[in-house]
């Protein structure tokens, strides 16, 4: 009887520890690149880095664009639109998180936060012809960028 109680106690303790374990899930690939066109603001290669924790994901985007002036930390309001599962639906990652950047530094935004479901496949290339893949607002000026290529090595799969 004593062994049975110990066994049950151990099982309950193990289940409790598993319930408290972090729910981080791997996203693949963790990093991808795409080319962006930002109109008069320029364009070029961008690197996107993704992480996932349950149904919340973050993406940080580092661009080839350079800051025309110094930009303070957490002052860029950004919206990154990604095509969901190759269809017409989009998932948006938003936020006002960015590092401080000196004039001439590459522009980086994020981590931007969005909601994902298991199996979601997200790519920054919007084949639906929407106005932008990335929108960044700073000092009342909005810069919009369109991804002109699909992500390499492929879309993020959550």
Q: Tell me the C-alpha distance between 153 and 138, whole Å.
A: 31
What contacts 27, CB < 8 A, 6 or more positions away? 50, 51, 52, 57, 156, 157, 158
The pair of structure tokens assigned to 116 is 């994902």
Q: What's the predicted TM-score (pTM) here? A: 0.81
**Tens digits of residue pLDDT in 80-119:** 999 999 888 899 999 999 999 999 999 999 999 999 999 9
Q: Tell me the C-alpha distance between 38 and 11, whole Å.
A: 57
**Tens digits of residue pLDDT in 2-11:** 554 434 333 3
- The whole-number average pLDDT for the span 60-70 is 92
Q: How confident is the model at residue 77 (pLDDT cuts 50, 70, 90)?
A: very high
Is the pLDDT at 30 greater than 90? The verdict is: yes
Q: How confident is the model at residue 144 (pLDDT cuts 50, 70, 90)?
A: very high
- Whole-number pLDDT of residue 79: 96
């Amino acid at each position: 009887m004593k062994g049975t109680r110990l066994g049950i106690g151990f099982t309950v303790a193990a289940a409790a520890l598993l319930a408290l374990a972090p729910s981080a899930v791997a996203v693949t690939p963790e990093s991808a690149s795409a080319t962006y066109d930002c109109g008069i603001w320029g364009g070029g290669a961008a690197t996107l880095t993704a992480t996932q924790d349950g149904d919340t994901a973050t993406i940080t985007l580092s661009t080839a664009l350079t800051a025309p002036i110094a930009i303070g930390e957490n002052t860029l309001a950004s919206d990154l639109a990604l095509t969901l599962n190759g269809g017409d639906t989009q998932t948006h990652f938003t936020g006002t998180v960015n590092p401080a950047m000196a004039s001439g530094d590459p522009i980086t935004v994020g981590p931007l936060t969005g909601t994902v479901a298991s199996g979601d496949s997200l790519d920054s290339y919007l084949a639906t012809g929407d106005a932008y893949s990335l929108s960044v607002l700073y000092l009342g000026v909005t810069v919009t960028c369109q991804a002109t290529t699909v992500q390499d090595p492929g879309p993020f799969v959550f």
